[in-house]
Amino acid sequence: MRFDYGYDEEQRLGKPYDLKLLRRVLPYAATHRVKLALSVALVVVITLLELSVPYITKEIIDRHIVPRGQIAVDTGVGQSADGRWLSVDLEDPAVAEVVDREKTLFQIRGDRAVIRLTDMARLDRSSLSRLRHADLSGLLRIVALFLGVVVAIFIFTFAQNMIMEIAGHRIMHDLRVGLYRHIQDMPLRFFNRNPIARLVTRVTSDVQNMHDMFTSFISMVFKDMFLLAGIAIVLLAMDWPLALMTFAVLPLVAATAFGFSRKVRDVFRDLRIKVAQINTRFSETIAGIKVIQTFRREQENFDTFAQLNHDNYLAGMRQINIFAVFMPIIEILGVTAIAIVVYFGGAHVLDQSVSIGVLAAFIAYMKMFFRPIRDLAEKYNLLQNAMASAERIFLLMDTRADGVSEQRAFHTPGTLEQIRFASVSLAYNAGEPVLKDIDLTIEAGETIAIVGATGSGKTSLVNLLVRFYEPTTGSVSFNGIDSRQIRPEVLRKRIAMVMQDPFLFTGTLKANIFFAANGLSLQQQENILDASRCRDLINRFPDGLDTRISEGGDSLSSGERQLISVARAFSADPDMIILDEATSYVDSQTEVYLQDAIANLMRGRTCVVVAHRLTTARTADRIVVLNNGVMVETGNHESLMAGQGFYYRLYHLQGNDQ
């Protein structure tokens, strides 16, 4: 069997940005479409409110700060030296009083009076306040409106962020659960080709990247696009010739953004590959730390990791360099656009074709205009990250179990009565069969021993029994039903395995022993502990069944782990037991307990024993002898020894007496 733990998956992928990937995400977002729609609606409201801020500033300047006559000189009076006047309403008693007191400074035109701006300096402060109290009142009202808009922006932004975060978390919750379930259902062939670090990255950081896209990118893109469109419309409405002049820099902005996107895409892909390599290398180091330290390869292993880390650093620096060039260019273009506004807009103010308020609003809008462009550039990096993660997530989701169709559950067998291998061959890699034309029938209650040299295919035969793999050719049937027409979980419910090196999970002894059992009474649990000879083991611990163990059961001896494994098989109450030389790694005293426990476990059940030591196979009802994937002999111990064939020679090679 070969393991493919390389980085081909990272290398094979195409460009990370693909609209097809976004369509793949839509089913997960569809269940939360109300929240997403509400979030987008709030983004539109927030954008409109933000667009109103510079316009309100314009109104403050034009209506209440700068005297109206400064802009509109068509008040019916002749042009003075500077042509700037303030027009006031004589129907206002306070204004009329000031005009009456300072008649020499005013010219009367019907129900209005005008005064030169230069002459206003001759009025005392009290008179000026009375003269412009209407502007002060209007200024107070519009400032209150301004503050109301700011408060509304805060409230709506808070609501939009909360709604988007809730929707994003729920979408990613569904995606992570679906991905976890999919990985858990995959056959062993899949895990042979995918290192743990890669799968952990998919379920954790890649899903988190997708969450960032939903909570940050989508809402910001909507906001930025609406803001850009809104600013363009407002500028054209206020003064379209000046707006068109400022838009002259936009082709340069578009060309810069396009060049940036092409460069950052390639660099980002390289960066993702390096991160995947670092994760895989680190995972292999932790898993193989005993081997590394035993053979004193710490320095060599460190040098390899340091090189990967340095390559990742160089890729990151290339990404930073691209941003370091792009962002200043956008800033320069933004300042250029403002300079155009100041020059041409200032000229229009001087010839009185544009108000000061319009000029101030133009400058504010141009600053706002380039902010979304910078944001979109930064969010593009987030999009690349999310698209690369989505690509890997859905590539994993599209990986299907070999030989399993979408409608794979056709039959549910009853109690296992017969298992048949019909011309079964198995190849983990194309053209390299490990089992060849196996024909074997196992009857209910029979004990079958599978023997052979290392690499003969013993474990592969067991893997077919529990459907860890599907046969390349031929079929495996249970009670006459092809295994591919039985759900794996239904089949495995009737089978229990006791392996050479059993795996225990972090948690209590009770959780590990009754791992596959639900609803057992206290008496049933006690019976299982007695039958599996685990009673003495449990009593040695102060906390009994509630004793906590670490991952893998490293705090227990090999024999103790095997006893727990036998008890776990008991708790499943299976029809068939598979034993993979369960007493190989234990001392003589523990072996006695184990053999007694295994004898209890095998009683009344079909049993398949993978025997590395042929003395274990002697008591089996039938012995199946494998050599290079071929079933060369079958029979009981006495008949095989009498035949003096392959089993006979193998028996004596192990140093056994005749």
Q: Is the pLDDT of residue 117 over 80?
A: no
Highest mean pLDDT pick, 130-144, 388-402, 425-439: 425-439
Task: Give the helix ranges, DSSP H, for 436-557.
Answer: 458-465, 488-492, 509-513, 522-531, 535-539
Tell me what pLDDT residue 495 has.
87
In-domain check, residue 533: no
In-domain check, residue 111: no
Residue 412 near residue 574 (C-beta atoms within 8 A): no
Residues 6+ apart with CB under 8 A from 361: 54, 55, 57, 58, 238
Better-predicted residue by pLDDT, 41 or 351 = 41
Angle subtended at Cα 12 by Cα 403 and Cα 284, rounded to the nearest 5 degrees: 80
Sheet containing 473-478: order of strands: 432-443, 418-429, 473-478, 481-482
Residues 6+ apart with CB under 8 A from 269: 13, 15, 16, 388
In-domain check, residue 520: no
Residues 6+ apart with CB under 8 A from 104: none
Task: Give the helix ranges, DSSP H, for 288-355.
Answer: 289-294, 298-340, 346-350
Better-predicted residue by pLDDT, 532 or 63 = 532
Residue 60 near residue 191 (C-beta atoms within 8 A): no
Strand ranges (DSSP E) for 127-254?
none
Q: Which domain holds residue 323?
A: 8-63+138-397
Residue 220 near residue 379 (C-beta atoms within 8 A): yes
Residue whose structure tokens are 């002049």:
245
Interatomic CA distance for residues 593 and 532, integer angstroms? 8
In-domain check, residue 415: no
- Give me the torsion for CA of 391, 396, 397, 402, rounded to 10°: 140
In-domain check, residue 355: yes
Residue type, 192: N
Q: Which residues of 628-638 are buried (b: 16+ CB within 10 A; e: fewer)?
A: ebebebbbbbe
Residue 527 near residue 570 (C-beta atoms within 8 A): no
Structural domains of the chain, count: 1
Supply 216's token pair. Answer: 């940050």
Per-residue pLDDT band for 421 (boundaries 50, 70, 90) equals very high
Summarize pLDDT for 589-646 with one digit per residue, the tens.
677 777 888 888 888 888 998 887 777 788 888 999 999 889 999 998 899 888 888 8
Residues 6+ apart with CB under 8 A from 623: 448, 449, 450, 451, 617, 633, 634, 635, 636, 637, 640, 647
Tell me what pLDDT residue 73 has.
40
Residue 462 near residue 438 (C-beta atoms within 8 A): no
Summarize pLDDT for 213-263 with one digit per residue, the tens.
777 766 677 777 888 888 888 888 888 888 888 888 888 887 877 777 777
Tell me what pLDDT residue 61 has.
79
Angle subtended at Cα 424 by Cα 418 and Cα 425, rounded to the nearest 5 degrees: 150
Mean pLDDT of 341-368: 80
The sign one gets for the Cα dihedral 148, 151, 153, 155 is negative
Per-residue pLDDT band for 74 (boundaries 50, 70, 90) equals very low
Strand ranges (DSSP E) for 510-627?
548-549, 576-580, 606-610, 622-627
Residue 451 near residue 620 (C-beta atoms within 8 A): no
Mean pLDDT of 285-294: 82
Residue type, 306: A
Interatomic CA distance for residues 574 and 605, integer angstroms? 8
- Closest Cα partner for 540 from 523, 559, 522? 559
CA distances 406 to 80, 409, 467, Å, are: 89, 9, 16
3-state secondary structure of 418: strand
Say which range, 96-100, 216-220, 357-361, 616-620, has the weakest mean pLDDT.
Answer: 216-220
Summarize pLDDT for 297-320 with one digit per residue, the tens.
888 889 989 998 998 898 888 888
Tell me what pLDDT residue 440 has.
92
Tell me what pLDDT residue 409 has.
45
Residues 6+ apart with CB under 8 A from 202: 179, 183, 392, 393, 396
Mean pLDDT of 449-457: 87
Q: How far is CA 411 from the centre of its chain?
A: 36
Interatomic CA distance for residues 83 and 54, integer angstroms? 28
Tell me what pLDDT residue 82 has.
46
Better-predicted residue by pLDDT, 346 or 437 = 437
Summarize pLDDT for 154-169 with one digit per residue, the tens.
999 899 888 888 888 8
Percentage of residues in the chain having pLDDT higher than 70: 88
Residues 6+ apart with CB under 8 A from 603: none
3-state secondary structure of 532: coil
Q: How many helices (H) and strands (E) does the chain have?
A: 26, 15
Q: pTM for the complete prediction?
A: 0.66
Residue 494 near residue 572 (C-beta atoms within 8 A): no
Mean pLDDT of 114-126: 75
Tell me what pLDDT residue 425 has.
93
Better-predicted residue by pLDDT, 153 or 191 = 153
Q: How far is CA 51 from the centre of its chain?
A: 35
- Closest Cα partner for 317 from 276, 274, 280? 274
Mean pLDDT of 337-357: 79
DSSP label at residue 407: S
In-domain check, residue 486: no
Tell me what pLDDT residue 631 has.
92
Interatomic CA distance for residues 625 and 339, integer angstroms? 89
Residues 6+ apart with CB under 8 A from 566: 498, 532, 533, 534, 582, 594, 597, 598, 601
Q: Is the pLDDT of residue 401 over 60?
A: no
Tell me what pLDDT residue 4 has.
44
Q: Which CATH number covers residue 291? A: 1.20.1560.10
3-state secondary structure of 501: coil
- Give me the torsion for CA of 320, 322, 326, 327, rounded to 10°: 0
Tell me what pLDDT residue 377 has.
65
Residue type, 553: G
In-domain check, residue 365: yes
In-domain check, residue 596: no
Interatomic CA distance for residues 176 and 215, integer angstroms? 16
CA distances 400 to 12, 14, 404, 487, Å, are: 18, 21, 7, 14
Per-residue pLDDT band for 19 (boundaries 50, 70, 90) equals low
Q: Mean pLDDT in the chain?
A: 79
Per-residue pLDDT band for 348 (boundaries 50, 70, 90) equals confident
